[in-house]
Structure 1
Amino acid sequence: MLELAAIGVAASLAAGCMTGLGGAMVAFGGPPSERRHNLLMGFAAGVMIAAAFFSLIIPGIERAQMTGSSRPVAAAMVIGAVLLGAMAMAQLGRLIELATAGRPGFEGKRTIKALSGEQHRIALFVIAVTLHNIPEGTAVAVSFMSGDLQLGWATTLGIGIQNIPEGMAVAAALSTLGWSPMRCMLAALATGLIEPVGGLIGVAIVQTSMAMLPWALGFSAGAMLFVVMADIIPQASRRIEHGSATPALMAGLAVMMFLDVTLG
């Protein structure tokens, strides 16, 4: 179990570091065009949707059945966990908005309040990307803690792939504020380095009780799906004049499905 925990945390770190790769692509190749960015985000959305269902939800139901639950009960359990994960991410988003808007009761209000409108928007985006990487790290570690290394590597691959355009988006946004290419790259990398924190949380939950594994898998899936539905897809839709991201989303979905089935 300790070996699986160590692999899970290390894999969450590897997946998180992929944001640095995205930042490096912007630092050395320049910000991506609107069309290229749209396609990357669409591909990432497809990867995350497939990873949520094939690497987290379905295995979560199977694990719940292995503990003695009937299939309907196992499905209800994991669905409940998915909804909890989505609600947690929604609440996290509200807290981020309150903090960056300088509302009373938040320590960071003086810093963020002094920012211009554009700086405030970019700060909100970077904080949101950073914090939502926590449940992604949890998803990676929990998938390894299930004992299925192939499932773990498939989840790591899926999250790592979608971290690349995230890193590109962070670096590109910061470059508009006049940041140097190196600072943009390092900032993009830093947003992903929080994923091992999520990995440690996932390991702690599962080690407390293996019965929590289906809940942890479902919760991670819900968090990932919320990010896709509430952030990535709407963002791509707003850029529709630069080309539809739907073909890229379907490509990401197909690639991740193929990898998950062949690796699993």
Structure 2
Amino acid sequence: MNWFSNLNPVVQALIATLFTWGVTALGAALVFFFKNVSKKVLNSMLAFAAGVMIAASFWSLLSPALEMAESQGKNPWVMVSIGFMSGGIFLLLVDKFLPHLHIGFSSDESEGIKTSWQRSVLLVLAITLHNIPEGLAVGVAFGAVVAEIPSASLAGAIALAIGIGIQNFPEGAAVSLPLRREGFSPLKSFLYGQASGIVEPIAGVIGAVAVLKMQHILPFALAFAAGAMIFVVVEELIPEAQHEGETDITTMACMIGFTIMMILDVALG
């Protein structure tokens, strides 16, 4: 692990987000072994991902943001609140304009600007929306290590990357398996599924570079990533997971995801 700790934070963020993208591809690869997975399982996987993102938003992002703002002599709740809401508003605007289609919904229920794009592309774009704040969060976490704040440790950033990677597995499968069910070949379904994770290394590098160049915005950047993630959870993941009415199972799956991410962050961070 010493070799990794000696790397530039931007390189660390790139490696970490390449890992999270790889786990997305691993989840998408399930399409080579299964043609169909029950909606109950798929919904539980999405709810699990939601739980991971909720826990990561607080333990890995908001808590360090509050500590950093205070250490900088700023009013912590003001800066963090503004950053948190800005992240949600940013994703709200992206959601309103980027054409996408949520899993389990018909083509005429697509959101964003109306387009003639294929259903498969719209499904990929929906998951890509999830991955923008995830990649950004990992990048900002690695960039924050240079601030030398106890709550922003390299181990904590690694824990966040592992947690995001874990929840990317079901997200990759959530794209590839429905496409296979609709008649796409296993290879094409896999390629579409893993494509949803491409944005994570890009967002990760952008996040790390931004905080290294402007360390004074670290609390804002961490809170921004948290707000964007919570927006995704409440606006997309949980409604999709409970679309079929399996509220008890998906609620427990969400709590399990939260618990695993909390353990990861506290134990490693």
TMscore range, shorter length: 0.7 to 0.9
| 1:56 counterpart = 2:61 | yes
Work out which of the residue numbers 74, 82, 85 in structure 1 matches 2:84.
Answer: 82
Q: Which residue does the alignment assign to 1:142? A: 140
- What is the aligned-residue identity percentage? 40
8 Å Cα contact 1:154-1:259 kept in structure 2: yes
Q: Which amino acid aligns with 2:142?
A: F
Q: Deviations over 1:126-166 (max 9, x none)?
A: 21212431221111011011112111111111211111111
Q: Which residue does the alignment assign to 1:165? A: 170
8 Å Cα contact 2:99-2:125 kept in structure 1: no
User: Aligned pair in 2 of structure 1 residues 98, 11: CA closer, same or farther (>3 Å)?
Assistant: closer
Work out which of the residue numbers 30, 47, 50 in structure 2 matches 1:45.
Answer: 50
Q: Deviations over 1:50-74 (max 9, x none)?
A: 00000001011111122222xxx11
Whole-angstrom distance in 1 between the partners of 2:233 and 2:123? 15
Whole-angstrom distance in 1 between the partners of 2:34 and 2:46? 18
| 1:221 counterpart = 2:226 | yes
Q: TM-score, normalised by structure 1?
A: 0.87
| 1:239 counterpart = 2:235 | no
Q: Which moved more, 1:75-84 or 1:234-243?
A: 234-243
Structure (1 or 2) with the greater helix fraction: 1
Whole-angstrom distance in 2 between the partners of 1:11 and 1:98? 27
User: Aligned pair in 2 of structure 1 residues 25, 199: CA closer, same or farther (>3 Å)?
Assistant: same
Q: Which amino acid aligns with 2:42?
A: H
Q: Deviations over 1:204-252 (max 9, x none)?
A: 2112210111111111111111111000111112122486301111111
Whole-angstrom distance in 2 between the partners of 1:75 and 1:220? 16
8 Å Cα contact 1:16-1:137 kept in structure 2: no
Whole-angstrom distance in 2 between the partners of 1:130 and 1:246? 23
Q: Which amino acid aligns with 1:226?
A: F
8 Å Cα contact 1:35-1:243 kept in structure 2: no
User: Aligned pair in 2 of structure 1 residues 183, 91: CA closer, same or farther (>3 Å)?
Assistant: same
Q: Which residue does the alignment assign to 1:262? A: 267
Q: State the SS of the aligned residue for 1:15.
A: helix
Q: Which amino acid aligns with 1:262?
A: A
Q: Which amino acid aligns with 1:222?
A: G
How many residues were matched structurally? Answer: 248
Whole-angstrom distance in 1 between the partners of 2:92 and 2:198? 22
Work out which of the residue numbers 197, 214, 233 in structure 2 matches 1:192.
Answer: 197
Whole-angstrom distance in 1 between the partners of 2:191 and 2:95? 24
Q: Which residue does the alignment assign to 2:121? A: 123
Q: TM-score, normalised by structure 2?
A: 0.85
Q: Which runs of 5 or more structure 1 residues have no equivalent in the other structure?
A: none
Aligned-pair distance for 1:44? 1.1
Q: Which residue does the alignment assign to 1:36? A: 41
Whole-angstrom distance in 2 between the partners of 1:260 and 1:244? 25
Whole-angstrom distance in 2 between the partners of 1:262 and 1:241? 32
8 Å Cα contact 1:15-1:160 kept in structure 2: yes
Aligned-pair distance for 1:177? 3.4
- Provide the alpha-carbon RMSD of the alignment: 2.3
Q: State the SS of the aligned residue for 1:192.
A: coil
8 Å Cα contact 1:18-1:161 kept in structure 2: yes
Whole-angstrom distance in 2 between the partners of 1:94 and 1:247? 30
Q: Following superposition, which runs of at least 4 residues in structure 1 exceed 3 angstroms of deviation?
A: 97-101
Q: Which runs of 5 or more structure 2 residues have no equivalent in the other structure?
A: 1-5, 102-106, 146-152
User: Aligned pair in 2 of structure 1 residues 2, 79: CA closer, same or farther (>3 Å)?
Assistant: farther
Q: Deviations over 1:4-25 (max 9, x none)?
A: 1110121012112211111111
Aligned-pair distance for 1:32? 2.0
Q: Which amino acid aligns with 2:49?
A: A
Whole-angstrom distance in 2 between the partners of 1:229 and 1:139? 17
Aligned-pair distance for 1:36? 1.1
Whole-angstrom distance in 1 between the partners of 2:157 and 2:238? 25
Aligned-pair distance for 1:33? 1.2
